[in-house]
Structure formats: C-alpha cells, structure tokens
C-alpha cells in the first residue's frame, strides 16, 4: 500500500482538464497549384474537414493557415485572440463548440494546421476515443485532397491544471491520480499509435512579480538592472529542484512564453513572443535553462520541470508529480505569497507526437 501511495498524486477535484490534438502538414507549391487560388485552397480543405468532423462528432475544430502557433487554455467564455506569432484559444470543453477557419487569402502558409479541441465530460477517460476519431478524420481528409503525398505531424496534448493551494482555501476534496503515460493508456483502449513516436511529460507553474515580491527583494533590484534579482531566484529554484532530484528544468523571465519540445525533433529557439525549450528526456544528465532579461522586470516568471526517462514508471508519473509539488512548495516559501488569497496554478502536461 505504501508503494501504491508513492505513485499516486492527490489533486483537487476542482482541477481542470484540457485535451487537444494539433495536426499539421507542409504544403508544397505543387499542392497550392491544384487550386484556382490560395483562398479556394483553404475553403476546400475547410469544407471537406468540417463535413468529416460532423460525421465523426468532433464539434470544436479549427483550420489555421496563418503560420501562427495555437495555444489552448481553459476559460468559462469562448474567445480567440491573435498576436503576431500566436493563436490563443480559450474555451470550456463542457459546452463550447465551433468550426472556424483562420487564414489570409494572399498568404501561402508554410504549415497548414488543424486544431481539434476535445469536448464533453471526462476528457481523460475519453482521450483514446477522441484520438481515434481524429485519426480517422485526418486519413479521410488526406485521401480527398489533391496530391495527398504529404505527411501529418500529429501532436496530442493533455493538460491537468489545479491550484496547489486549493486546500488552504477550503477545497479539501481530492482525487488520487496515477498519471499513466499516454502510449500504454491508448494501447489499453485499442487506440494503436506508431511505435516510432515521441513523448514529453512535464509540469509548469508561474509566479507573478507582485508588489510584495518587489518590496521584499528591493535591496537587490537596481533601477533598470535586475540580474541580481533573477540570479537569486534562479539559484533558489535550482536548489529546490536539486533537493527533490529534479534535473531537467527551466526558468523563463524575459517576457516570452515557454514552449517545451523534445530535442529529438526540435532545437531550442525563440522569437519575440515564444521561447522554445528543447530537452532530451532520454538522458539523465542535468539540463537546466535559465533565461532572463536583466534590463526588464517582467510581470510573470515561468518555470518548467520535465520528466526524464527514469521518472517514467509502469504505475505512471504520480511519483514525479509528488516530487514537483514538494519542490514548488519549498520554492514558493521564499516569496511573500498568501496561500489563502493567491492561486499557484500547476499544469501537468502530457504530449505524444508522431508522423502520420
């Protein structure tokens, strides 16, 4: 029983689930030449796509052909925001539905992306079924398009988000999760994925730089120069991680949003909005990324902890998340944060990707 509890993490019942699948392909010029113009290309893909989605009961799907990266978050109201580099989708899977397209009729997209947002209840329990239906849509769509020689890159994303301080606010009910890896979970439910695939499991949390934090650290925060502040925070973060045997981690405090990828497929990179962090989860050698802008005091500091190969157990990632939670509690203790008044949201991510 003690061993079982070690591999089970107790998460508040108020936790939110998100599940979405992003499929993308790179159209060659010959693909675009099969249509009268760029606009008719996207419109035909959309007609075929949404007809198939109706057939397979996929009710929240978006065609994106503007080379912006989709980012998905939970919200009680459904809305979409665009920045120069991102498409931000906010929705509640319980009741938001939409079939929409986003493109510029004069722009040949480098990648055509299809975003499938899971809807309904019990998203984790229904994840394999959702993935199976998405694969059927993708296969049939490919067969209906001209020059179907392209290959999809499929990325399955599952998030579990919760307030680490929920209990201090009176939300005492919790549920014990084993957090099994995606591949065996899908296999057990007859959703067969390619043996050649990549999995990423990690947790993130963010700490706002509040007035209380600025006041507490003002002696090492010089006007227009914040390297002392960031270096101190980075040292405390790395110490907290080391104490809990967490070796693959990152701190991003330069105004960019961290995006985590496997170094097998992507190298670390950045643009004005996004900071891509690549980790080799098959290596036990420590991988630490500390990124900040010493001339800018950001509103939010982002932190990432990635599960390495040795953190993967047959029982699941419950032990890893218990280590992460303990580390965050240790680390948060160095800040003037009120557990009764402030949320400290932890996001547990599971990704699996492959060519299809």
Burial of residue 210 (number of CB atoms within 10 Å: 0-12, 13-18, 19+): middle
The pair phi, psi for residue 82, each rounded to 5°, is -120, 135
Query: Which residue would you say has higher pLDDT here, 269 or 31?
Result: 31
Average pLDDT of the chain? 92
From the list 297, 293, 239, 295, the residue with the least C-alpha distance to 270 is 293
Domain match, 6 and 51 both: no
224 to 84, 183, 216, 291: CA distances (angstroms): 27, 48, 17, 17
Residue 126 has pLDDT above 80, yes or no: yes
User: Is the CB of residue 61 less than 8 Å from the CB of residue 157?
Assistant: no
Pairing outcome for strands 9-12 and 174-177: antiparallel
Domain match, 206 and 260 both: yes
Residue 277 has pLDDT above 80, yes or no: yes
Burial of residue 272 (number of CB atoms within 10 Å: 0-12, 13-18, 19+): exposed
Answer whether residue 267 is part of any domain: yes
Domain match, 242 and 271 both: yes
Instruction: Please give the tally of structural domains in the chain.
Output: 2
Answer whether residue 281 is part of any domain: yes
Domain match, 121 and 263 both: no
Distance between CA atoms of residues 106 and 41, nearest Å: 11
Domain end call among 105, 128, 149: 149
Answer whether residue 42 is part of any domain: yes
Answer whether residue 351 is part of any domain: yes
Tell me which residue range forms the domain holding 275.
Answer: 2-12+201-355
Domain match, 6 and 68 both: no
Residue 262 has pLDDT above 90, yes or no: no
What percentage of residues in the chain have a pLDDT greater than 70? 95
Residue 4 has pLDDT above 60, yes or no: no
User: Is the CB of residue 260 less than 8 Å from the CB of residue 200?
Assistant: yes
Answer whether residue 259 is part of any domain: yes
Domain match, 212 and 110 both: no
Q: For the residues of 91-122, what is the DSSP string, one character each?
A: E-TTT--EEEEEE-TT---SSEEEEEE--SS-
Answer whether residue 134 is part of any domain: yes
pTM equals 0.91
Pairing outcome for strands 269-270 and 248-253: unpaired
Residue 230 has pLDDT above 60, yes or no: yes
Answer whether residue 346 is part of any domain: yes
Domain match, 276 and 348 both: yes
Domain match, 220 and 335 both: yes
Domain end call among 89, 124, 149: 149
In this predicted model, what pLDDT tens digit does every residue of 51-95 receive, in sequence order? 999 999 999 999 999 999 999 998 899 999 999 989 999 999 999
Answer whether residue 249 is part of any domain: yes
Query: Which residue would you say has higher pLDDT here, 219 or 178?
Result: 178
Domain match, 104 and 232 both: no
Domain match, 88 and 133 both: yes
What percentage of residues in the chain have a pLDDT greater than 90? 78
At residue 269 the predicted structure's pLDDT band, cuts being 50, 70 and 90, is low
In this predicted model, what pLDDT tens digit does every residue of 321-330 receive, in sequence order? 999 999 999 9
Domain match, 7 and 36 both: no
Domain match, 54 and 87 both: yes
Domain end call among 111, 133, 149: 149
């Amino acid at each position: 029983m003690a061993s079982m509890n070690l591999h089970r993490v107790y998460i508040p019942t108020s936790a939110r689930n998100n599940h979405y699948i992003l499929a993308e392909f790179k159209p060659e010029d010959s693909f675009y030449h099969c249509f009268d113009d760029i606009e008719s290309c996207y419109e035909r893909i959309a007609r075929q796509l949404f007809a198939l989605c109706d057939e397979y009961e996929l009710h929240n799907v978006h065609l994106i052909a503007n080379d912006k990266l989709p980012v998905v978050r939970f919200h009680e109201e459904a809305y979409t925001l665009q920045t120069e580099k991102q498409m931000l989708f906010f929705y509640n899977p319980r009741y938001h539905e939409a079939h929409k397209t986003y493109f510029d009729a004069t722009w040949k997209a480098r990648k055509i992306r299809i975003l499938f947002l899971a809807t309904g209840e019990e998203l984790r329990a229904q994840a394999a079924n959702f993935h199976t239906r998405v694969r059927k849509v993708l296969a049939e769509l490919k067969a209906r398009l001209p020059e179907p020689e392209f290959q999809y890159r499929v990325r399955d994303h599952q998030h579990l988000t919760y307030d680490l301080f929920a209990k201090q606010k009176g939300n005492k009910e919790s549920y014990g999760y084993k957090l099994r890896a995606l591949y065996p979970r899908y296999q057990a439910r007859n959703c067969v994925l390619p043996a050649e695939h990549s999995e990423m499991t990690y947790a993130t949390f963010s700490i706002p730089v509040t007035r209380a934090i600025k006041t507490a650290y003002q002696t090492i925060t010089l006007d227009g120069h914040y390297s002392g502040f960031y270096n101190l925070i980075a040292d405390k973060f790395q110490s907290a991680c080391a104490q809990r045997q967490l070796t693959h981690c990152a701190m991003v405090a330069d105004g960019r949003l961290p995006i985590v990828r496997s170094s097998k497929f992507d190298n670390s990179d950045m643009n004005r909005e996004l900071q891509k962090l690549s980790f080799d989860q098959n290596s036990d050698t420590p991988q630490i990324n500390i990124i900040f802008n010493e001339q800018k005091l950001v509103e939010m500091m982002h932190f990432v902890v990635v599960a390495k190969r040795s953190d993967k157990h047959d029982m699941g990632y419950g032990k890893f998340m218990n280590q992460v939670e303990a580390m965050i509690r240790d680390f948060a203790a160095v800040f003037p944060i009120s557990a009764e008044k402030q949320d400290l949201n932890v996001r547990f991510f599971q990704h699996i990707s492959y060519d299809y």
